[in-house]
Chain A
Amino acid sequence: MPLFDTEFLKKLEYLSLVSRRMFRGSLLAQRRTMQTGGGIEFADHREYSHGDDFRHLDWNVFARHGQLLLKRFQEEEDLQVYLLLDCSRSMAFGSPPKFDLARQIVAALAYIALADLDRVAVIAFADDIIADFPMTRGKDRILSLLKFLEGLEVQGEATDLGRVVKAFTQRPQRRGLAVIVSDLFDPQGYERGFDLLRYRNYELNAVQLHDRLEAEPSLLGELELVDIESDGVQKVTITENALKKYRTLFEDFQESLRKYGRKYGVGLTQTRCEVPFDELILKMMRASGAVG
């Protein structure tokens, strides 16, 4: 059964329709970036420094308080959406595989963005960037994008988000919305990559996928656990007690993600891979207030 069939495309169209209210804009793009610049909508103030344009000084404040504050405006430009898709081998785990859902989510988000006349790029990664769908615009590009996604396979070694983000941010490109779709099982920690994206002023969003058996494994006894990403082996005697600890650790991991999101304003969606992608997208829209 193909990953992106006609039914899938219908769902994409439906999602793009229900999400249209979300992306209102006055210029070419219908989505405003969080970049400050030469727009007309006031964003905030900052201290005047030498060389700043006098035209942007807030004279009313100066008249009241005697302080030179520079008005900042939200720059209005078409949105650059970077969809970072985890193609590590851990994404092949699950029933259905997390990788399938991840590609469907990426396709859906890309479709919505393209439908809103935003620019979309897809970056497939594992331990490094392994494939790119270059920045594109226009709804007519969706089929090419889907074909690209269909051609992706899980590969590489252990996920290294820090390395991937570093390579990503070093590219000469405009900043924009970065959406990471991954299970975030990074031995080095997902925080390095997240932090780097934040530091580079990317608007970060993350969709974290996990399988039911990853949250609540049903393993017991003497086992040899094989990490399908790194092929690492761990001989363990899994007991009820160990299972209990595992669940606690997994829940702590999930909670740390949520804390990180709340702390740094990172949009975070955590879901199990058996959830249909359209439900998940709707859920994300509801969370962001895009749909009622």
Chain B
Amino acid sequence: MSLASPLNLLWLAAIVPVVVFYILKIRLRRVPVSTILFWRQIYDEHQPRSIWQRMRHWLSLLAQVTLILLLVLALADPFFAWETRQLRRIVVIVDNSASMNATDVSPSRLAAAKDEALRVIRGMRFRDELAVVTAGGSPRVVCGFSSHGRTLSHAVDDVVSTDNPTRVTEAVELARRLLGERQDEHQREIVVLTDKAWGQAPQNSNLADQSLDRVTKSLPPNLNFAVPDPGLLVRHFGTNAGNVGITQFQTRRSLIDPLGYEILAEVTNASDEPVECRLEIDLNADVVDVVPLKLTPGQRWSQSFEKTSADGGHLTAKLDRADTLATDNRAWAVLPKREMIPVTLVSEGNLFLQKVFESNPLVALTRIDPPGRKPEAESRKPLSQNLSSPNAGITVLHHHVPEVLPSGVFLVIDPRESCDAWQLGEPIQNPIVHQQDKDSPLLGHVRLDNVVMPEARQVKFVSDDGVKVLARSLAGDPLLTTIERPGQKVLLLTVNLDEGDLPLRTAFPILMMNALNWCTENRGELRESLPTGAITEIDVAALSRDRSLTLRVGIAGQAPDSESQATEGRSLSLIAPDGRRSALPMPSERLSLGPFDQCGVWRVVANEGDTTLMELACNLADRNESDVRVPKSEVIAPTSALSASLLGNRPVSMWLIAFAWLLFAVEWWAYQRRVIE
């Protein structure tokens, strides 16, 4: 036996005064009585005769000295050599992923796993250290190495269920790093409490679990745990219960149809039985579609739907089948609402140009006749004033251009006048598009090299700042140019629409559609439904501009107006589907959100006024998690590998104190009851 704190043996000096005082005895208290007749009768008749009576004072002294010895020895903290040899460091990995919410084990797999973790904690020996790690989503150390059972138990109790995917492999790696590189490997133990079979690699995750494979391969065929690599014990929870779940659910706005949107749904039958069920898709609680499904065992059904609606909102997919895992029976997606785009057409009248905007159901078209040209300065002034009004939206200028282009978004077609941005040159006859920027979204699905353009206008830009030529003629003259300056976006098409077949070609409406998308920056078209456990980034500046869309069409690079300034100045919060609210850091350019640990629609809100700025759908969307089957060979009885020690998992000092306390109690009782007489 060794002592952890041998210096505390100095307290043995306390025995000396005890013995001295005992031998000297404390002076007896004198009590006057009227007569000692009766006392003499008592004590003279009962003189101590037995050895016990004669030795009682020495026994009392012995008891006191023993009491001090026990307490001092407890302070010295003795321990046996085998305690240090059998010291264990244990990492308990509790899988709190979505599949652990399955109810095939009552009340749930996670509850059973937590019970098992508590059992492991109760089985700790003194000086054992244990850490608790969760494996739902990113592995997290919920309690570092500790010997304090109550702390560890509270940590296990605080493990909550999530809809995150399983990350047991990463958790095991984390546990190994926690355990460190110790030589005495037999004292390191990792206890994995999960429902995933080791041989069952995640089907849609990127986890490369070589170490896990190594562990799995080393398993004897008839033994499912207690593998030698660093004392890895695996306890599985669950049955072979089947489950049918929605493993993918996405929506996006159609790139062609301004009102259309597409839905992608995938349902997987992760059971050994054929299943009949029904998939119902709702948009804001209105049924959009209902699909009866007949799924063979293991079948994965996938289909895309094309629907039409200008309204945005929550798309919800529901399976009408109650199974062991309810999390994947519902899925959500956020459909962006189509906003009306105010377009002001300043033209003397071009039917093609007018119709191409009128045919777009999202365009609110206003046509303005151009003012007279004389006197030039006076006639052009009202146009400038009109265009600078905040409700102008996108302004399409056909032929007529104000002398100074105000702030705003302009689509200038076939200009006949110079302005502060360019100087108009000579007409170009039969220009042929020689260079076309294929990467520009403005020219997506648009080919101009085969379009006959009898006439165009030569322009010379006053400044090259913000000027980007998207299409040039063979002579190098710009035909399609974008000019982006602070507070101003201009798309300049110098081709004469009145002549040539550009308005007759499909490229024209596509080009105009692209132009509208470019002007409105094409935001809100696709909001991907995120899988649980994912982390995403949002553009805070764009969020602010989106909010200002209700007043004006957003302009990239535009100086923030008062509302967007207010939005950026607000503190933001992320609200989970269950109402949990977490404050977000003060927004900068971009903000990371997540990981999202719950299925449903998450909201980014401004704390001031609780205005919803953004919605994000989050679904399980994990085939591995939806497959809650545990192979029969993996379903094992509770492990009893972590057994208690002979000392009842308590230190020797505790037993010494307990014995001292018992001795003290007996001595006190004997003194009070005077049994020593």
Taking Cβ atoms with an 8 Å cutoff, the residues of A that contact B are 90, 93-94, 98, 183, 185, 187, 211, 214, 217, 219, 221-229, 232, 234-237, 239-242, 245-246, 249-250, 253
For the complex of A and B, list the 7 residue pairs with the smallest distance between their C-beta atoms, beginning with the closest: A239-B674, A93-B34, A90-B34, A185-B35, A224-B28, A227-B36, A249-B38
Asked if A214 and B34 make an inter-chain contact with CB atoms under 8 angstroms apart, the answer reads yes
Kindly name the residue among B35, B36, B672 whose own CB sees the greatest number of chain A CB atoms within 10 A.
B35
Give chain B residues whose Cβ lies under 8 Å from the Cβ of A98: 34
Instruction: Confirm or deny: B40 has a beta carbon within 8 angstroms of a beta carbon on chain A.
Output: yes
What residues on B are CB-neighbors of A234 within 8 Å? 36, 39-40, 43
- List CB contacts (< 8 Å) of B27-74 with chain A: 28-43
Total interface residues on B, using CB and 8 Å? 20
Taking a contact as CB atoms under 8 Å apart, the answer to whether A240 and B674 are in contact is yes
B479–chain A nearest beta-carbon distance, Å? 117
Also in contact, A224 and B29, with CB within 8 A (given A236-B43, A249-B42): yes
Residues in chain A near residue B41, CB distance under 8 A? 249
Contact of B677 among A185, A224, A241 (CB under 8 A): A241
Q: A224: which of B31, B40, B674 is its contact (CB, 8 Å)? A: B31
**Nearest chain A CB to B54 CB, angstrom units:** 13
Which applies to chain A's interface (DSSP): helix, strand, loop or mixed? Answer: mixed
Q: How far is the CA of A245 from the CA of B44 in the complex (A)?
A: 13
Report the Cα distance A237→B42, complex, angstroms: 11
Q: Which of B34, B40, B43 contacts A211 (CB 8 A)?
A: B34
Known: A235-B28, A249-B41. A242 touches B677 (CB 8 A): yes
Cβ–Cβ < 8 Å partners of A241 in chain B: 674, 677
The smallest C-beta distance from B49 to any residue of chain A, in angstroms, reads 15
Q: List 14 A-B contacts (CB under 8 A).
A: A93-B33, A98-B34, A185-B35, A223-B29, A224-B31, A225-B32, A225-B36, A226-B31, A226-B36, A227-B34, A232-B36, A242-B43, A249-B41, A253-B38
Q: Which residue of B lies closest to A246 (CB)?
A: B38
B550 to nearest A CB, angstroms? 90
B677 in contact with A225 (CB, 8 Å): no
| Residues 635-677 of chain B, each 1 if its beta carbon lies under 8 Å from chain A, else 0 | 0000000000000000000000000000000000000111001
A242-B42, A250-B38 known; A223 and B31 CB under 8 Å?
yes
Residues of B at the A interface (CB closer than 8 Å) are 28-43, 672-674, 677
- Chain B residues with CB below 8 A from A90, complex form: 34-35
Residues on B with C-beta less than 8 A from A217 are 33
Closest to A226 in B: B32
CA distance A104 to B41 in the complex (A): 32
B33 in contact with A240 (CB, 8 Å): no
With beta carbons under 8 angstroms apart, the residue of B30, B32, B39, B673 that contacts A246 is B39
Within the complex, what minimum Cβ distance (angstroms) separates B672 from chain A? 8
Contacting residues, chain B, for A232 (C-beta < 8 A): 36
Residue of A nearest to B41 (CB): A249
**A residues less than 8 Å from B35 (CB atoms):** 90, 183, 185, 187, 214, 227, 229
Q: How many angstroms from the CA of A229 to the CA of B33 in the assembled complex?
A: 9
A-chain residues with CB within 8 Å of residue B30 when the two chains form the complex: 223-224, 226
Chain A contacts for B673, CB-based, 8 A:
240
Which residues of chain A have C-beta atoms less than 8 A from B677's C-beta? 237, 239, 241-242
Complex CA gap A241/B674 in Å reads 7
Partner of B39, one of A93, A187, A225, A239: A225
Consensus secondary structure, chain B interface = mixed
Most chain A Cβ neighbours within 10 Å, of B38, B41, B677: B38
Chain B residues within an 8 Å CB radius of A221: 29
A214: nearest residue on chain B (CB-CB)? B34
CA–CA, A229 and B32, complex, Å: 10
Complex interface: chain B residues within 8 A of A211 (CB):
34
- Contact check, B33 vs A227: say whether CB atoms are below 8 A apart: yes
Most chain A CB within a 10 A radius of its CB, from B32, B672, B673: B32
Query: Shortest Cβ distance from B671 into chain A, in angstroms?
Result: 9
Note all chain B residues with C-beta closer than 8 A to A185: 34-35, 37
Residue ID in chain A nearest B677 by CB atoms: A239
The answer to whether A226 and B34 have CB atoms under 8 Å apart is no
**A68–B31 CA distance with the chains assembled, in angstroms:** 66
What distance in Å separates the Cβ of B39 from its nearest Cβ neighbour in chain A? Answer: 5
Residue of B at shortest CB range from A98?
A: B34
Name the residue among A93, A235, A245 with the largest chain B CB count within 10 angstroms: A245
Closest to B43 in A: A236
Give the CA-CA distance A214 to B35 in the complex, in Å.
Answer: 9
CA distance A93 to B28 in the complex (A): 21
Q: Bound state CA distance, A235 and B29, in angstroms?
A: 10
Tell me the minimal C-beta distance from A284 to chain B in angstroms: 23
Q: Which of B32, B40, B672 contacts A228 (CB 8 A)?
A: B32
Q: Nearest Cβ distance between residue B577 and chain A, in whole angstroms?
A: 71
A236 and B674 alpha carbons, distance in the complex (Å): 13
A96 to B33, CA, bound (A): 15
* Chain A residues near B42 (CB-CB < 8 A): 236, 242, 245-246, 249
Q: Is the CB of A236 within 8 A of B38?
A: no
A219-B31, A222-B29, A226-B36 known, 15 other contacts, Cβ within 8 Å = A93-B32, A185-B34, A214-B33, A214-B34, A223-B29, A223-B31, A224-B30, A225-B36, A227-B35, A234-B40, A236-B39, A237-B677, A242-B43, A242-B674, A249-B41
Question: A252 to B38, alpha carbons, bound, how many Å?
Answer: 10
Partner of A222, one of B28, B34, B36, B37: B28
Quick one: closest B residue to A245, CB to CB? Answer: B42
When C-beta atoms are compared, the residue in chain A nearest to B673 turns out to be A240
**Closest CB of chain B to A154's CB: distance in Å?**
11
When distances are taken between beta carbons in the complex, the residues of chain B under 8 Å from A227 are 33-36
Alpha-carbon distance between A31 and B423 when the two chains are bound, in angstroms: 158
The answer to whether B33 touches A226 (Cβ under 8 A) is yes
Complex: chain B residue closest to A224, CB-CB:
B28
Nearest CB of A to B453, in Å: 122
Q: Which residues of B contact A225 (CB under 8 A)?
A: 31-33, 36, 39
Closest to A158 in B: B35
- A92 vs B39: C-alpha distance in the bound complex, in angstroms? 19
Q: Which residues of A contact B672 (CB under 8 A)?
A: 240
B667 to chain A, nearest CB (A): 15
A273 to nearest B CB, angstroms? Answer: 11
Q: Give the distance in Å from the alpha carbon of A249 to the alpha carbon of B35 in the complex.
A: 13
Write the nearest CB–CB distance from B64 to chain A, whole angstroms: 15
Cα separation A253 to B28 with both chains bound (whole Å) = 28
B34–A229 contact, CB under 8 A?
Answer: yes
Chain A residues whose CB sits within 8 angstroms of the CB of B37 once the complex forms? 185, 187
CB nearest neighbor in A for B26: A222
Give CA–CA (A221, B35) in the complex, Å: 18
Bound complex: CA of A219 vs CA of B29, how far in Å? 11
Task: Name the residue on B nearest A90 (C-beta).
Answer: B34
Task: Indicate if the CB atoms of B31 and A228 lie closer than 8 Å.
Answer: no
Contacts of A229 in B (CB 8 A): 34-35
Task: Choose among A90, A227, A253 the residue with the greatest number of B CB atoms under 10 Å from its CB.
Answer: A227
Complex alpha-carbon distance, A241 and B677, angstroms: 9
Q: Which residue of A lies closest to B31 (CB)?
A: A223
- CB B401 to nearest CB in A, in angstroms, measures 116
| Closest residue on chain A to residue B45 by CB atoms | A245
What residues on B are CB-neighbors of A250 within 8 Å?
A: 38
Judging by beta carbons under 8 Å apart, are A94 and B33 in contact? no
Chain B residue at smallest Cβ distance from A89: B34
Cα(A245)–Cα(B33), bound, Å: 17
Which B residues are CB-close (under 8 A) to A187?
Answer: 35, 37
Q: How far, in whole Å, are A226 and B41 apart by their CA atoms in the complex? A: 15
Per the bound structure, the CA–CA distance linking A211 and B35 in Å amounts to: 12
CB neighbours (8 Å) of A236 from chain B are 39, 42-43
* B43 / chain A contacts, CB cutoff of 8 Å: 234, 236, 242
> What CA separation (Å) do A94 and B34 show in the bound complex?
8
